Structure 1
Amino acid sequence: MAEQQEREELLKEAKTWLKTPYIAEGRVKGAGTDCGLFILQSFENIGLLPHIKIPHYPIDIAANCAVPMYLNKIKEYCTEVDKAIPGDIIVYKFEGSKVPHHAAILYSDEYIIHSHVKTGVTLSNRKGFKKYEVGIYRFNKWI
C-alpha cells in the first residue's frame, strides 16, 4: 500500500473510534481508550504495526515522572518532522506536566483526532491545542 493510501486508511480507522470513552490504559474501540493506545491501536488495526504490549503506567505519569516514557515510545516508531500532514502524530505537554504526555493524529489542517480525558475520542480544532504542541512525528515507514 502506498503512503497516501495508508494515511487515508489510518484516518478512516481513527474516525471509527469517535465517541469511544476515555479509559486509562484501554485500547478497545467503543469501550474505552486513552490517547496513546488509541493511536497505537489505530495503526495496528490497519496493519501498519504489530500488536505492541505496553506495560502498566500510572495515570498521573506526566505530573510525577521525569523520564518522557510516552514520547520515548513514540520515537521508537516515528521521527520528528517540521511540518505536519494528515496522519502525522502531534505531541503535547500541558501546563503543570514535567514531560509530554498527550498525542493526537492530525486529521486535517484544522482538526486533530485524539482521546481526551473529558470527551473520549473526538475531533478537536487544532488551534485550541496549538500552544501545547511540543513536536510533530511521522511514522518511520513514511520517511
Structure 2
Amino acid sequence: MSEEVTNDATKIDGKNRAGGNYLYQGGFCILAGKYDEFAKWCKKNGQGLKKACPMGIEFVGIFMVRQTSEKEAGDYRIVWRLDNYASLDTFQTATQPAGPLHQLLTELGSFSDRGANWSQIMMQDMENVVSGLFYD
C-alpha cells in the first residue's frame, strides 16, 4: 500500500523524505588483473558497507554493467539511496578519515583504475519532487 505524496513532507515506508528519495550512482573501472580479488572483496564487505551507513543513507550495492549506451561511464556502479538532498552532507562526514565508511571506501578505491572511465549521477524519484522546485 502506497502512502500519499504531498508537497510539504513526503513519507515513504514511514520515513520522512521531504523532497527526497535520491539515488547516487558512481561508475568506475577496476585495475587489470584485479577482478577476482575485487569480486571477493565485494562479497565479503557488502554487509559491512550497509551497516556503516549513517541514518538517511542506504548502500544499495555494487553492480557490474551488463548493457549500456554509456560507453565512458565505467564497467561497475556503486549505488546509494539518500533520504533527502541534505543527506549528502551526512555522507561526506561519514566518509572522512574518522568516519565509519572511510576504511571500507579506501579499500574499495584500491581496486579502481583512476585513469579509466568513470561517472557520477544523482537521480531523484519523481514521486517525491516538491512541486515548484524545477521548471514550473
TM-score of Structure 1 vs Structure 2, range by shorter chain: under 0.3
Q: What is the TM-score with the length of structure 1 in the denominator?
A: 0.26
Q: What is the TM-score with the length of structure 2 in the denominator?
A: 0.27
**Structure with the higher fraction of residues in helix conformation:** 1
